[in-house]
């Protein structure tokens, strides 16, 4: 591991040298590429340099242990440096894990009401609002692609794009079935209802990464409209694309022009088919197919939002927080960070077991 870290540090220093050279700045694309690589290596290099510094302190304290006058002070520094080295070594092991190649990508999020009728649709709208508010806090941009609203203000389904720094790396944990337990506004008896919503988080894929055969596509145009016929366009600007080999259907009607809706629908279709391809590859390796969002049934949940108790529970890692109001207003960083740490620990454990 230390040999690999030395090589990474040498590469980082080479990047620093190249970025300081005047001739490098004549090529803007090269500067962007070198800066990106340098940013990716920086956490590793900083942790490795901190490890080397504490290792030096450790050996210096070890040498002083034989001096009666300095022994007490040296022993304290010796133990502290040893503890820091263990912590930094663990941190370095995690940083050396292969990164998900999709982490830096933008995402397409698709939310669909599952079990629960109108209450599920209302909660689907609540999740859309939660993710939009979280994106705003992160400095990301959100762009609506398609929405199918209900009369009471819910959504049967909504698709939108989030664009910014490491969006997929943060949002990928949201894929799955989200269960809500609350008293619906339409419930006169005050009974708690349980409903589900499915969320799919798809990495944005460009034309080079996934090529679509035009012969496999059926493209229809129609007039877009909101709930109850609101916002009806007089022109047929909405687009529906069907991928004939798989039967996958994508609709996009939020953009004003037919051309923009077509481009956005093609973008979503590529991402869906790319995700399906990845799942097939993973199932071939794992020996069983793992669905990203399941069927929307209550027992296939990743998270529960219990409003009477103000509780949010993520069942994958056994995390429970009593900050549901804050979470629904976009304060979900604590949950996403805990999921990230759990994933890293699991990957590290799997790597050590296979070593």
pLDDT in tens, 20-50: 998 888 888 888 888 878 888 898 999 999 9
pLDDT at position 35 is: 87
> What percentage of the chain exceeds 70 in pLDDT?
85
Cα separation, 180 vs 305, in Å, equals: 5
Residue 255, pLDDT above cutoff 70: no
Where residue 229 falls among pLDDT bands split at 50, 70, 90? very low
Classify strands 155-163 and 238-243 as parallel, antiparallel or unpaired: unpaired
Q: How many CA atoms lie within 13 A of 130 on its CB side?
A: 20
The DSSP secondary-structure symbol of 254 reads S
> Phi, psi (5° rounding) for residue 219?
-115, 125
What's the whole-model pTM score? 0.68
Where residue 354 falls among pLDDT bands split at 50, 70, 90? very low
pLDDT at position 288 is: 35
Report the mean per-residue pLDDT for the chain: 83
How many degrees, rounded to 5, is the angle at CA 8 between CA 5 and CA 11? 155
Cα separation, 37 vs 11, in Å, equals: 10
pLDDT at position 260 is: 80
pLDDT at position 84 is: 94
Return the CATH architecture of domain 107-344.
Answer: 2-Layer Sandwich (3.30)
Yes or no: say if 116 and 196 are a contact pair by the CB < 8 Å rule: yes
**Residue of higher predicted confidence among 57 and 185:** 57
| Two tokens, residue 89 | 């070594």
Residue 227, pLDDT above cutoff 70: no
The DSSP secondary-structure symbol of 72 reads H
> Phi, psi (5° rounding) for residue 315?
-75, -20
2-95 against 107-344: fold identical: no
Query: Rounded mean pLDDT of 61-69?
Result: 90
Residue with tokens 């079990």: 115
pLDDT at position 189 is: 67
pLDDT digits (tens, 9 = 90+) for 116-128: 889 999 999 999 9
What CATH number should be reported for the domain whose range is 2-95? 1.20.58
Domain residue spans of the chain: 2-95, 107-344
> What percentage of the chain exceeds 90 in pLDDT?
41
């Amino acid at each position: 591991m230390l040999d690999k870290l030395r090589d990474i540090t040498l590469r980082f220093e080479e990047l620093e040298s190249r970025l300081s050279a005047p001739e490098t700045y004549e090529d803007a694309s090269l500067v962007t590429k070198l800066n990106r690589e340098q940013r990716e290596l920086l956490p590793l290099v900083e942790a490795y340099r901190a490890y080397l510094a504490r290792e030096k302190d450790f050996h210096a304290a070890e040498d002083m242990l034989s001096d009666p006058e300095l022994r007490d002070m040296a022993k304290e520094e010796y133990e502290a440096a040893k503890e820091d080295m263990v912590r930094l070594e663990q941190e370095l092991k995690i940083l050396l894990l292969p990164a998900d190649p999709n982490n830096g990508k933008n995402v397409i999020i698709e939310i669909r009401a599952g079990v629960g009728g109108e209450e599920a649709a209302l909660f689907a709208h609540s999740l859309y609002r939660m993710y939009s508010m979280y994106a705003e806090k992160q400095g990301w941009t959100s762009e609506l692609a398609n929405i199918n609203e209900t009369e009471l203000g819910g959504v049967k389904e909504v698709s939108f794009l989030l664009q910014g720094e490491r969006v997929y790396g943060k949002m990928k944990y949201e894929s799955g079935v989200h269960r809500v337990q609350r008293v619906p506004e339409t419930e006169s008896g005050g009974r708690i209802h349980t409903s589900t919503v499915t969320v799919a988080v798809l990495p944005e894929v460009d034309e080079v990464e996934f090529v679509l055969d035009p012969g496999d596509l059926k493209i229809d145009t129609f007039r877009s409209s909101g709930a109850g016929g609101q916002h009806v366009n007089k022109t047929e600007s909405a687009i529906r694309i069907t991928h004939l080999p798989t039967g996958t259907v994508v609709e996009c009607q939020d953009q004003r022009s037919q051309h923009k809706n077509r481009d956005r629908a093609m973008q979503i279709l590529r991402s869906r088919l790319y995700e399906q391809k990845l799942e097939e590859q993973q199932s071939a390796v794992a020996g069983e197919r793992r669905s990203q969002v399941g069927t929307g049934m209550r027992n296939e949940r990743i998270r529960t939002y219990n409003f009477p108790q103000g509780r949010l529970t993520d069942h994958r890692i056994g995390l429970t927080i009593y900050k549901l109001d804050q979470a629904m207003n976009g304060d979900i960083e604590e949950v996403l960070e805990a999921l990230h740490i759990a994933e890293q620990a699991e990957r590290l454990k799997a790597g050590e077991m296979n070593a």
